Structure 1
């Protein structure tokens, strides 16, 4: 099979790439990380495209008046965007399932210390209230434990993780508000379009920041070699 780091062909019976020295267990982990990274990028592009398209729709609404405004026509125009946000939510669930697989492996490979048991990698996303703060905390711990960071670098990593999580929550809430918005009046339609643009922007930014965390953690863990793995055999 080809090495995920350098592309060189590795025989099945060999556990380490002869060209770059990557370990087999790291190759599989990096492949999952690349898949998550690409899915997040696709989600970001879909959200960005939706936001740009909604911005173009806001222009004719600014020139409309209460006399020539047609709520039925506006509702028909906005209906496909509501479907796009619904599809984006489904895509996020699919991406999240693969992301949790990657995060489970990343937790196991990070040296620690960890404040929470490994089971919380999954339970932290499912338990109400807890899922509002625990997932980003665990991602941050895995990130900083995967490498040697100074205080300023830890703070920068914390800002990236916090930004990702805040944008994800805002994008989710605003997207739901957009799909349940009203276009009965011109003011309502303008507000609903602006909510949709904000939701798309936050979703695109959240996916981009999450890509940064996946990239950094995968890179650090693929480059690191545990002492037991590097020790020569008998």
Structure 2
């Protein structure tokens, strides 16, 4: 199997790369990080495409009036986007499972001291109420422990993690609001529904992009620290 750092072939019975000395487990960790990064990029691409499509759908409503507005046609056009957000949620769930596996390894490889037990990498996402604030704390802890950061750099990392988690919560809440809308019987309701859908897609795309940044930085820091 090729080394993730130099490209040389590592025999299966050897723990280190014969050319650069990198650990084989680091090679596997980098492969998982790349897979998570690519899946997050695909999630961001789908969410961004959904938002742009909704914007184009709402363009004819700008010049519409209460007399020319067609509620049945608008409702029929918006119905598939509920399924799109459902598919985005399923994709995010699949990506999240791989992300948890990556984060579990990243937590174990990051030097301490750790403020939280490693079990919170998983339980922090499953426990009600706790899952509103524990996941970003774990990610931030892994990030800052994986490298040597000054105070300003730690604050910048905290802003990225906080922005990612805020976008996750806002994207989920707005997507649920869009799916459970009361209808588009009036022109005002249709415009509001489209704005909610566009905002949900935008926050989901931004959340995926910020999560990509955390995955890239943590993976890069841990591989560089080993070499």
List structure 1 segments (4+ residues) > 3 angstroms apart after TM superposition. Answer: none
Q: Unaligned stretches of 5+ in structure 1? A: none
Tell me the secondary structure at the aligned position of residue 118 of structure 2: coil
Does residue 1:137 correspond to 2:134, yes or no? Answer: no
Task: Quote the RMSD (CA, aligned, Å).
Answer: 1.0
Structure 2 residue aligned with 1:109: 109
List per-residue Cα deviations over 1:169-207 (Å, max 9, x = no partner): 000000111111221111000000000000010000000
TM-score by length of 1: 0.94
Contact 1:103-1:121 within 8 A present in 2 as well: yes
- How far apart in 2 are the matches of 1:175 and 1:72? 22
Contact 1:2-1:9 within 8 A present in 2 as well: yes
- How far apart in 1 are the matches of 2:6 and 2:165? 33
Q: How far has the Cα of 1:11 moved from its partner?
A: 1.4
Q: Unaligned stretches of 5+ in structure 2? A: none
After TM superposition, the structure 1 = structure 2 runs for residues 72-83 of structure 1, keeping only pairs within 5 Å, are 72-83=72-83
TM-score by length of 2: 0.97
Q: How far has the Cα of 1:21 moved from its partner?
A: 2.4
Q: How far has the Cα of 1:70 moved from its partner?
A: 1.4
Structure 2 residue aligned with 1:212: 213
Contact 1:33-1:102 within 8 A present in 2 as well: yes
After TM superposition, the structure 1 = structure 2 runs for residues 196-211 of structure 1, keeping only pairs within 5 Å, are 196-211=197-212
List per-residue Cα deviations over 1:62-112 (Å, max 9, x = no partner): 111111211111111011111110000000000000000000000100001
Q: How far has the Cα of 1:223 moved from its partner?
A: 1.4
Structure 2 residue aligned with 1:183: 184
Which moved further from structure 2: 200-209 or 70-79? 70-79
Structure 1 residue aligned with 2:62: 62
- How far apart in 2 are the matches of 1:8 and 1:209? 32
Contact 1:112-1:142 within 8 A present in 2 as well: no
